[in-house]
Amino acid sequence: MRILKSGDRGKEVLDVQSRLRSLGFDLGTDGVDGYFGDDTRLAVLQFQQSNGLVADGVIAENTWCELVESGYEAGERLLYLKIPPFRGADVLMLQRSLNCLGFNAGPEDGIFGPMTERAVLDFQKNSGLVVDGMVDDSVLKLIDVVTKDGEPHSDEGKIPDRNGGAAGGRTLDRCTIVIDAGHGGDDTGAVNSAGRCEKDVSLAVATRLSRALESAGARVVMTRESDQTVPLYLRPATANTARADLFISIHMNWSDNPRAQGAAAYYFSRKGYYSEAGRILADAIVASIAEAAAVPVMPAMGRNFAVLRETEMTAVVVEPCFITGEGMNDRLDDDTFASDASEAIFSVLADYFGRQ
Ligand SMILES: [Zn+2]
């Protein structure tokens, strides 16, 4: 898709604006006029912030998908398991309600997958409805009645995670881990004042990490092994196809302010749902990098990034440092930082899964 940003004009902008307005975002005095001005940018930023997306005021693939999916209301279409799966706000509401009622619909990712279908079947069986996995009016009406009269929706509930918050007693030598080096090829990622690119540092850390995991006996799949372009949505798809136990994406942080320093990590979170396993892992990883590589630690953050949402397993995005941080470029000149960071991540994974 074409990326839409300030100053753009046309039918696509009109489409974005009408979607934003129907979701209740304020487009200011100009309204839906087909011009991407300041008011539209502000509305996009607000939409991104309220959906856990990177708030850059630009409509690229991930924000566009979320915008389309946010528009579906419960009951607007018949939901059931199909390929490719139904996605959207209506699926999210269904998953949230089923989880609230104690039927395990899996991660609240807004994607109607096999776990959601199983929860629907369970719900139908328990309610004396036709057990066919189709979310029709009879299912929706009953869910509505039960959730309104029963347990109120809580915003920060402890909801069953895809792995129940733990790795399930597997050791590293029985795991498949997908390592995703961020960006690559035409997409350089962030670039610091010395011209060093995020894509190269990410690959250096990812390569070291994957070697360490392989020598511990893990099966490792990398989404890229060289400086090549990999589409955003292919990255989680690779992990899903490999039936990975864990997805780790390596990026580098950046800021206009050279004083910004520190290790950051992100786990899947969206509208009150968060991945407990992801949070535990992300927290442990930032702490470990901070100690090994002597950088400040930032608390793990819940985000709705495409790679975190689309992956069917526990997933974490790690940013070991700000490549724009003061003095950081010198530290990236030799391999010390990349190896310290990758060893720090490795030791967390070894503890998390257990060594053989
Ligand atoms: Zn990045």
Spatial distance between the Cα atoms of 351 and 244, rounded to a whole number of angstroms: 18
H/E/C letters for each residue in 100-138? Answer: HCCCCCCCCCCECCHHHHHHHHHHHHHHCCCCCCCECHH
Average pLDDT, the chain: 88
Q: What percent of the chain has pLDDT over 70?
A: 93
Residue 156 burial class via C-beta count within 10 angstroms: exposed 0-12, middle 13-18, buried 19 and up:
exposed
The model's pLDDT over 8-21, given as tens digits with 9 standing for 90+, comes to 999 999 999 999 99
Residues near 267 by Cβ (< 8 Å), separated by ≥ 6? 274, 275, 278, 279, 281, 282, 300, 301, 302, 303, 308, 315, 316
CA 251 / ligand 1 centre spacing (Å): 5
CA 199 / ligand 1 centre spacing (Å): 8
Helices (H), 112-251: 114-127, 137-149, 198-215, 234-241
pLDDT of amino acid 150 = 41
pLDDT of amino acid 10 = 93
Mean pLDDT of 146-161: 46
Lowest mean pLDDT among 98-107, 310-319, 343-352: 98-107
The model's pLDDT over 207-263, given as tens digits with 9 standing for 90+, comes to 999 999 999 999 999 999 999 999 999 999 999 999 999 999 999 999 989 999 999
Task: Give yes or no for a contact between 14 and 40, defined as CB atoms under 8 angstroms apart.
Answer: no
CA 352 / ligand 1 centre spacing (Å): 25
Mean pLDDT of 175-197: 96
Task: Give yes or no for a contact between 142 and 97, defined as CB atoms under 8 angstroms apart.
Answer: no
Amino acid at residue number 247? F
pLDDT of amino acid 340 = 96
CA 190 / ligand 1 centre spacing (Å): 7
Task: Give yes or no for a contact between 217 and 172, defined as CB atoms under 8 angstroms apart.
Answer: yes
CA 252 / ligand 1 centre spacing (Å): 6
Judge whether residue 51 has pLDDT over 90: no
Q: What percent of the chain has pLDDT over 90?
A: 62
Lowest mean pLDDT among 54-58, 76-80, 249-253: 76-80
Spatial distance between the Cα atoms of 188 and 161, rounded to a whole number of angstroms: 34
Confidence band, pLDDT 50/70/90 cuts, at residue 178: very high
Beta strand spans in the chain (E): 176-181, 219-222, 246-250, 264-270, 273-274, 301-303, 314-319
pLDDT of amino acid 174 = 87
Instruction: Read off the tokens for 274.
Output: 């968060």
CA 27 / ligand 1 centre spacing (Å): 29
pLDDT of amino acid 169 = 58
Confidence band, pLDDT 50/70/90 cuts, at residue 355: low
Pick 144 or 10 by higher pLDDT: 10
Task: Give yes or no for a contact between 73 and 88, defined as CB atoms under 8 angstroms apart.
Answer: no
Spatial distance between the Cα atoms of 228 and 307, rounded to a whole number of angstroms: 18
CA distances from 48 to 32, 210, 276, 280 (A): 19, 33, 23, 25
CA 148 / ligand 1 centre spacing (Å): 42
Spatial distance between the Cα atoms of 161 and 159, rounded to a whole number of angstroms: 6
Confidence band, pLDDT 50/70/90 cuts, at residue 356: low
CA 19 / ligand 1 centre spacing (Å): 27
Instruction: Read off the tokens for 216.
Output: 């511990």
The model's pLDDT over 271-294, given as tens digits with 9 standing for 90+, comes to 778 888 899 899 999 999 999 998
CA 285 / ligand 1 centre spacing (Å): 17
Residue reference for tokens 């369970």: 122
Show the domains of the chain with their CATH numbers.
11-70 (1.10.101.10), 73-160 (1.10.101.10), 172-353 (3.40.630.40)
Number of other CB atoms surrounding residue 237 within 10 Å: 14
CA 197 / ligand 1 centre spacing (Å): 10
Mean pLDDT of 166-175: 71
CA 305 / ligand 1 centre spacing (Å): 11
Look at strands 264-270 and 273-274 and give their pairing.
antiparallel
CA 142 / ligand 1 centre spacing (Å): 44
CA 68 / ligand 1 centre spacing (Å): 24
Judge whether residue 159 has pLDDT over 50: no
Amino acid at residue number 125? K
pLDDT of amino acid 153 = 43
The model's pLDDT over 297-317, given as tens digits with 9 standing for 90+, comes to 888 999 999 999 999 889 999
Spatial distance between the Cα atoms of 248 and 226, rounded to a whole number of angstroms: 17
- The candidate with the shortest Cα–Cα distance to 302, out of 153, 107, 167, is 107
Residue reference for tokens 């009622």: 101
CA 225 / ligand 1 centre spacing (Å): 16
CA 195 / ligand 1 centre spacing (Å): 15
Angle at which helices 198-215 and 336-353 pack, to 10 degrees? 40
Lowest mean pLDDT among 17-21, 55-59, 140-144: 140-144
- The candidate with the shortest Cα–Cα distance to 222, out of 205, 85, 258, 321, is 205
pLDDT of amino acid 152 = 40
